[in-house]
Structure 1
Amino acid sequence: MATGKDRQKQLAREHHERQMQRRLEREQRNKRTAIIGSTVGVVVVVGGIVAAVAVLGGGSDPATEAASTPTASAPQDTAAAAAQPKPYDPATGTCGYVADTAGGQVKDVGMPPAEVKLKPATKTMTLKTNQGDIVVELDNAKAPCTVNSLEHLAGKGFYDGSKCHRLGSEKFPMLQCGDPTAKADGKAAGDGSGGPGYVMVEENLEGATYKRGVMAMAKTQAPGSTGSQFFLVFGDIGLTPDYTPVGTITKGLDILDKVNKAGVIGDSGDGTGAPKETVEIKDVTISGKS
């Protein structure tokens, strides 16, 4: 017959096992791609707020700075020897996308066309979600490789049916989306690790700020690691200028405010987690006139 001491030992052992499991899940999240450039919780994955610093991004709080950054999965050691993406070349009018060697889950829709055009200077991206439309004015003139990639992914239905997997808080006010494999249920440790199988350089970084209304791309800590994940900012985030600001939200901030108010499921320890109010992307279209 079990004694009181036996029961205490069992409870202590179970508590220790739960702690180790949570620690393992945190470490896995920190390696995922989240929103901003750090290797932390899911991006997107972000660390504290950057006061910052930086999946999703930055700061000085509690959990580690890395935890609150919008990041994507961190690259593996093999990435160092891999081909590096190249920025827009005005002489040839092309962008250099390369295969992503970081690992992670891939929804393969092919590589974007290398040739891009700087006109029109802006394009309109409409995210049709179960919560309503979120509309973004994309800065094609300053981030042509990124906009070209988004157009490619939208045209291939890459984002259709995907769920935004990471929501911040007042300290890290952003919603991270773009992982086509994310469950967004607060239980999937792999959320934030999915992508298109290719990466590109970061653009439009000079003087970049991440204030309410900005749409920016998530990445890992490594330069040239931007993929498909992005974050929508509904407050001001003190991130370092390392994440491509690709556009400005012109409609749908009220949706983000509503989702933020509902809170998160499964707080990862840095104040971010899957949104309780699910945001599922039904369709993405991009249009623009020369």
Structure 2
Amino acid sequence: MATGKDRQKQLAREHYERQMQRRKEREQKAKRAAIIGSTAGVVVVVGGIVTAVAMLGGNDTGTEAASSSSSSPAATAQATAAAGPKPYDATTGTCDYVADTSGGQVKDVGMPPAKADTKPAEKTMTFKTNLGDIVVELNNAKAPCTTNSLEFLAKKNYYDGSKCHRLGSDNFPMLQCGDPTAKADGKSQDGSGGPGYVMAEENLQGAQYKRGVMAMAKTSAPGSTGSQFFLVYGDIGLTPDYTPVGTITKGLDILDKVNKAGIITDMGDGTGAPKQTVEIKDVTFAGKS
């Protein structure tokens, strides 16, 4: 027969287990919410647990409105995908870039050329920052439209002078960049800037977001990838919805340094503008056979 002391120990253990389960659920929710935004916010693309989902994405109001209609979620998703940009057409070697109607801030540099070659299989993208170079080997063979867009934006000096506006933590280890309008001051609602066009996601089969991955930001809606991206310096358990476009081959030490410095203000989900400013000075490309 259990003693009163045994019963107290059991109750304490159950209480602790409930606490740990709630903590785990909160962390998982924060990870899902923290995904990165590329256009104007689902509710607002920055600040707060609810709106943090849009931080990896963009304006999701259309999706929200659709989900409140009489259509089934499956039918809504199919209709959204059908209406959005089409994936890479291997027979013609073309990409489908379409105007972004989400209403975010736009730095208009035009539209990338539709033609995108899958060769060379890899291209080297170098971000020259105030803290040193961050070099990424882009998977052009599996993400040709994304690579084509990044190279186009680089040639247009789209990223020059922009600041990485959102830093995660050890629980969500990523640095988000690519919003040319971001102030990264801990006060502004960064994350709404984009190039005025969006494209379909690529290379999602078996996608994992491990240390060293560069992936593209988007909203919860398919076909909402723009110019924003996130650099992963740990392991993030995200669903395979964000285009993994390349692997960081140099500069992870810079990301570790930025992470160690922390954030200016917590946006409510453990992320915020980094205390250590990361400014992209220039972006260059090189092919690799």
1:72 is paired with a residue whose SS is coil
Which residue identity lines up with residue 207 of structure 2 in the other structure?
A: A
Q: Which residue of 1 aligns with 2:216?
A: 217
Q: Which residue of 2 aligns with 1:132?
A: 132
- TM-superposed CA distance for 1:82, in Å, is 10
Q: TM-score normalized by structure 2?
A: 0.77
- TM-superposed CA distance for 1:133, in Å, is 0.2
Which residue identity lines up with residue 52 of structure 2 in the other structure?
A: A
Q: Which residue of 2 aligns with 1:186?
A: 186
Q: Which residue of 1 aligns with 2:236?
A: 237
1:137 is paired with a residue whose SS is strand
- Paired with 1:228 and 1:120, the residues of 2 have a C-alpha distance of 22
- What is the root-mean-square deviation of aligned Cα atoms in Å? 2.7
- TM-superposed CA distance for 1:91, in Å, is 1.2
C-alpha contact (below 8 Å) 1:161/1:280 kept by paired residues? yes
Q: Which residue of 1 aligns with 2:154?
A: 154
Q: How does 1:28-47 map to 2 (within 5 A)?
A: 34=37, 39=42, 42=45
Q: Which residue of 1 aligns with 2:56?
A: 71
Query: Which structure is higher in helix share?
Result: 2
Q: TM-score normalized by structure 1?
A: 0.77
The CA deviation string for residues 77-123 of structure 1, in whole angstroms up to 9 with x for no partner, is 39969952111101111001100000110000000000010100000
1:95 is paired with a residue whose SS is coil
Decide whether aligned partners of structure 1 residues 192 and 90 sit closer, same or farther in structure 2, where only a CA change above 3 A counts: same
Q: How does 1:75-224 map to 2 (within 5 A)?
A: 75-77=60-62, 84-189=84-189, 191-224=190-223
C-alpha contact (below 8 Å) 1:83/1:98 kept by paired residues? no
- Paired with 1:266 and 1:134, the residues of 2 have a C-alpha distance of 25
- Paired with 2:193 and 2:181, the residues of 1 have a C-alpha distance of 6
C-alpha contact (below 8 Å) 1:35/1:176 kept by paired residues? no
The CA deviation string for residues 266-285 of structure 1, in whole angstroms up to 9 with x for no partner, is 21010000000000000001
Decide whether aligned partners of structure 1 residues 152 and 117 sit closer, same or farther in structure 2, where only a CA change above 3 A counts: same
Q: Which residue of 1 aligns with 2:8?
A: none
Q: How does 1:253-272 map to 2 (within 5 A)?
A: 253-272=252-271
C-alpha contact (below 8 Å) 1:262/1:277 kept by paired residues? yes
Decide whether aligned partners of structure 1 residues 83 and 99 sit closer, same or farther in structure 2, where only a CA change above 3 A counts: farther
Q: Which residue of 2 aligns with 1:15?
A: none
- TM-superposed CA distance for 1:159, in Å, is 0.1
- TM-superposed CA distance for 1:289, in Å, is 3.7
The CA deviation string for residues 202-228 of structure 1, in whole angstroms up to 9 with x for no partner, is 000000000000000000000000000
Query: Which structure is higher in strand share?
Result: 1
The CA deviation string for residues 141-178 of structure 1, in whole angstroms up to 9 with x for no partner, is 00000000000000000000000000000010000000
- Paired with 1:40 and 1:71, the residues of 2 have a C-alpha distance of 13
Larger deviation: 103-112 or 70-79?
A: 70-79
C-alpha contact (below 8 Å) 1:33/1:74 kept by paired residues? no
> Which has the greater radius of gyration?
2
Listed as ranges, the gaps of 5+ residues in structure 2 are 1-32, 67-79
C-alpha contact (below 8 Å) 2:42/2:61 kept by paired residues? no
- TM-superposed CA distance for 1:287, in Å, is 1.0
C-alpha contact (below 8 Å) 2:128/2:134 kept by paired residues? yes
Which residue identity lines up with residue 130 of structure 2 in the other structure?
A: N
C-alpha contact (below 8 Å) 1:126/1:286 kept by paired residues? yes
Q: How does 1:5-24 map to 2 (within 5 A)?
A: none
